Amino acid sequence: MTITMSSTLRPPPSKVAPLAAVELKNVTCQFAGSGGGTYTAVSDVDLRIEDAEFVAVVGPTGCGKSTLLNVASGLLEPSSGDVLVFGKPLSGLNRQSAYLFQADALMPWRTALDNIAAGLLFRNMRKAEAEAQARDWLARVGLRAHADRYPHQMSGGMRKRVALAQALILDPPILLMDEPFSALDIQTRQLMEDELLQLWSVNRKSVIFVTHDLEEAISLADRVVVLAAGPGTRPVAEFNITLPRPREVSEIRMTQEFLELHTAIWQVLKKEVLKSHAHAQG
């Protein structure tokens, strides 16, 4: 196994490159700062996610991971730069993607079942059929008995699972996930990770998976992208994860290759985390 680390992040564009699922070119995001100035969260980011590729993005807290996902989903228009989705410039919302938000995004006034069926109903599917599919997904995420619960009646982990079903039921080619499992306990989390890998192996989507958990990133992804500390974050390194699939997250973490990868990536990440920490201290 080889650990490949490229400091120039993108391979030189080859003429016959297949269309990337998502491609960020020179993306810069500036926000209005507190003191009237501007805060550059993301600066000159080039990022390419191939079709059916699982990319994990790690980086210190507050560096701009969610911002990048917002850009990829079309919710946030970058201050400058281009977003291409399957080769086409993105304008408006990214209809090819589903987004699992970091924060709770279920409709609190709808039951678990309704929340999951919603996207299908928006696509004018008949109600009975949408609900049947939603029930199916509810079972797949292990919540068969909780169809009629409202979000406030569910635990944080259950809500995340409903959100996962809500995103996957639409069967989008691109899946954007923002720390989807960070609120879960270790056991549930590994179950969900395995579940995600299993679902993904059956139906390979392009995934951008943001996490602050390096182990999670390595055990799930084909590629791990490390973002620099903010302000003006950009990818500083990326690692190809050559661990064999199918993977079982709890087992793969014990392997030698995993540990080597972990050490290598952590060295890069640690530097950024320390920088971010020093910056936050002022």
Partner 1 sequence: MRTPKAKPRGPVAPRSVLHFQIILLLGIFVAWWGLVKLDIIPQFFFGDPVGVMQRLIKWFVTGSIWTHLINTLIETMLGFVIGTVSGLVCGLWLALNPMLARVFDPFIKAANSMPRLIFAPIFALWFGLGIWSKVALGVTLVFFVVFFNVFQGVREVSPVVLANVRLMGANRRQLMRWVYLPSATSWVFSSLHNAVGLAFVGAVIGEYLGSARGVGYLILQAEGVFDINSVIAGILLLTVFALLLDIVVSRVEVRLLRWQAPVQAQTVQAQTVKTPAGQVQAVQA
Ligand X SMILES: Nc1ncnc2c1ncn2[C@@H]1O[C@H](COP(=O)(O)OP(=O)(O)OP(=O)(O)O)[C@@H](O)[C@H]1O
Q: How far is the CB of 255 from partner 1 (least distance, A)?
A: 37
Report which secondary-structure segment, H or E, holds 119. Answer: helix 112-122
Candidates 88-96, 99-107, 123-131, 272-280 — which segment interacts with Mg ion by CB under 5 A?
99-107
Picked from ligand X, Mg ion, partner 1, none, the partner binding residue 63 (CB below 5 to 8 A depending on kind) is ligand X
* Residue 91 sits in the site that holds partner 1 (CB under 8 A): no
Which segments within the chain are labelled E, that is strand?
5-6, 20-32, 38-50, 54-58, 80-85, 88-89, 97-100, 174-178, 206-210, 223-227, 235-240
Q: Which position among 6, 26, 122, 260 is part of the footprint of partner 1 (CB under 8 A)?
A: 122
How far CA 150 is from CA of 112, 114, 129, 155, 193, in Å, comes to: 6, 9, 21, 10, 24
x/- letters, 151..180, toward partner 1 (CB under 8 A): xxx------------x---x----------
Q: Which position among 1, 17, 19, 107 is part of the footprint of partner 1 (CB under 8 A)?
A: 107
CB 175 within 8 A of CB 206: yes
**Cα–Cα distance for residue pair 219/250, rounded to 1 Å:** 9
x/- letters, 36..75, toward Mg ion (CB under 5 A): ------------------------------x---------
Q: Which residues bind partner 1 (CB under 8 A)?
A: 73, 75, 93-95, 97-99, 101, 103-111, 118-119, 121-123, 150-153, 166, 170
